[in-house]
Amino acid sequence: MERALVIGASGGIGQAVEAALHARGVSVDGLSRSRDGLDLTDEASVTRVLGAVDGVYDQIFVASGGLEIDGAGPEKTIRAIRATAMMDQFALNAVGPALVLRDAARLLPRDRRCVFAALSARVGSIGDNRLGGWISYRAAKAALNQVIRTASIELSRTHRDSICVALHPGTVRTGLTQAYARGHETMSAEDAAVNLLSVINELAPAQTGQFFDWAGKPIEW
Ligand SMILES: NC(=O)c1ccc[n+]([C@@H]2O[C@H](COP(=O)([O-])OP(=O)(O)OC[C@H]3O[C@@H](n4cnc5c(N)ncnc54)[C@H](OP(=O)(O)O)[C@@H]3O)[C@@H](O)[C@H]2O)c1
């Protein structure tokens, strides 16, 4: 039976991904900060919680992340940059998934297709940035994209059939977007999960190290 590990399984998209994987007959284990004490901004917690995970997972899906952290929302102008808020963005959205990669890559099988997917965001694309604003979140997701790209190259040396990708889920109705989605076309977390899993299912190892949206279209870095 196929096995998946969802990190951030308590979130809007994470919960829906877990449910959609179950519905496909995949055996899923979920981990989160609120239920399991897996705080991605605390290296010791990542090492402890992931160090206790055993077995082989065909898919590791990182659905954690944040737009507003400790009350600091996305900046509208560079004048609003605050060092602490920017560091918090990097800690959660870039360093956190990197630590997951470090401690969970050992769970991926070397002898067959396996997937490491992390939720990034289209606004993390440098080439696609035409609006400005949200500088810390954008920069942290751009850093995550580089983490994924770099790790994908190394992973494919030890895991020939690995697929390591960054995904944009679309604008999804979750706690994260509640205050920001006005005027945008949105989708339910359930639809987003089905879309994202369909994209993952269609990917081949030759497409590792890329950034895809929920429809499977590549996004420029
Ligand atoms: N929703 C969208 O439209 C949208 C668009 C583009 C990208 N994304 C990305 O998709 C991902 C999931 O978003 P969502 O909408 O599902 O958000 P959400 O409902 O707010 O869920 C966020 C998840 O991140 C976890 N998390 C937050 N801080 C954490 C920490 N310090 N350590 C470990 N886990 C932490 C939460 O865990 P606890 O609740 O257990 O604390 C929760 O599981 C994020 O990376 C986001 O940037 C979302």
Domains of the chain: residue spans and CATH? 3-213 (3.40.50.720)
**Pocket of ligand 1 contains residue 203 by CB under 6 Å:** no
Q: If you measure from the C-alpha of residue 178 to the centroid of ligand 1, how many angstroms do you get, rounded to a whole number?
A: 12
Ligand 1 atom 5: the closest Cα is on which residue? Answer: 171
pLDDT at 93: 98
Q: Is 77 left (phi over 0), alpha (psi -120 to 50) or beta?
A: beta
**Pocket of ligand 1 contains residue 136 by CB under 6 Å:** no
pLDDT at 14: 98
Ligand 1 atom 21: the closest Cα is on which residue? Answer: 11
Q: If you measure from the C-alpha of residue 51 to the centroid of ligand 1, how many angstroms do you get, rounded to a whole number?
A: 22
Q: If you measure from the C-alpha of residue 109 to the centroid of ligand 1, how many angstroms do you get, rounded to a whole number?
A: 26
Q: If you measure from the C-alpha of residue 114 to the centroid of ligand 1, how many angstroms do you get, rounded to a whole number?
A: 23
Q: Whole-prediction pTM value?
A: 0.98
pLDDT at 181: 80
pLDDT at 184: 86
| Intervals of the chain under pLDDT 50 | none
Burial of residue 132, with CB atoms counted within 10 A of its CB: 0-12 exposed, 13-18 middle, 19 or more buried = exposed
pLDDT at 174: 93
**Pocket of ligand 1 contains residue 74 by CB under 6 Å:** no
SS3 82: coil
pLDDT at 163: 98
pLDDT at 202: 98
Determine contact, residues 118/184, Cβ cutoff 8 Å: no
SS3 5: strand
Answer positive or negative: Cα dihedral of 96, 90, 34, 199: negative
Q: If you measure from the C-alpha of residue 111 to the centroid of ligand 1, how many angstroms do you get, rounded to a whole number?
A: 31
**Pocket of ligand 1 contains residue 89 by CB under 6 Å:** no
